[in-house]
Amino acid sequence: MNKLTKLAVMASLGLLAACGGNEFADLQRFMDETRARPAGKIEPLPRFEPYEAFTYSASSLRSPFQPPIKIDLSQRQKGSQDIKPDENRVKQFLEGFNIESFEMVGTLSNSAGMQALIQGAGSVHRVGVGDYLGRNHGRVTGIEENRVDVVEIVPDGEGGWLERPRTLSLAERG
């Protein structure tokens, strides 16, 4: 090879050696600086309060969309201290349900008397005179072919009790 060619090869090898140096030096420097910094703290997860269910307590009150009813307190029936439910007697099964949920569906009669068939509380029940049903101490006072007479004992709101008659009529099936 001639001298000029040798010189060109040597120059290009020198340039290649200069270029092939540490090409990741800036990345290595950045990593060293990052590792040298103090470690940070990770914030703990926020604490969530448990959900508390809301109970709507105004469902038994008058609807705000209906006009108020004026009650004449002088005409209101007063309760009596003589009338009161017997709290010591054993409650019957049908006393655990509202009387509005019951419906008369028929009667049965034999030599012992007449009994009514009342549908409610998931099935049909047989009741006789003297049996209790409903949450307001309702007692069956009479049974006829097409109705059951019940007398409930309800508080009057002033410490006394009132007897309130109710009738369960035979349901008409279509």
pLDDT at position 14: 67
Query: For the ranges 42-46, 82-86, 121-125, 161-165, which has the lowest average pLDDT?
Result: 82-86
pLDDT band with cut points at 50, 70 and 90 for residue 21: low
pTM of the predicted structure, to 2 decimals: 0.54
In order, the DSSP letters of the chain are --HHHHHHHHHHHHHHHHHTS-TTHHHHHHHHHHHHSPPPPPPPPPPPPPP-------TTSPPTTSPPPP--TTTSPP-BSS----TTSPPPGGGGS-GGG-EEEEEEEETTEEEEEEEETTEEEEE-TT-EETTTTEEEEEEETTEEEEEEEEE-SSS-EEEEEEEEEBPPP-
At residue 158 the predicted structure's pLDDT band, cuts being 50, 70 and 90, is confident
- The residue that leads in pLDDT, 89 or 2, is 89
pLDDT band at 139; cut points 50, 70, 90:
very high
- Mean of pLDDT over the chain: 82
Domain map of the chain by residue range? 93-169
- What class does CATH assign to 93-169? mainly beta
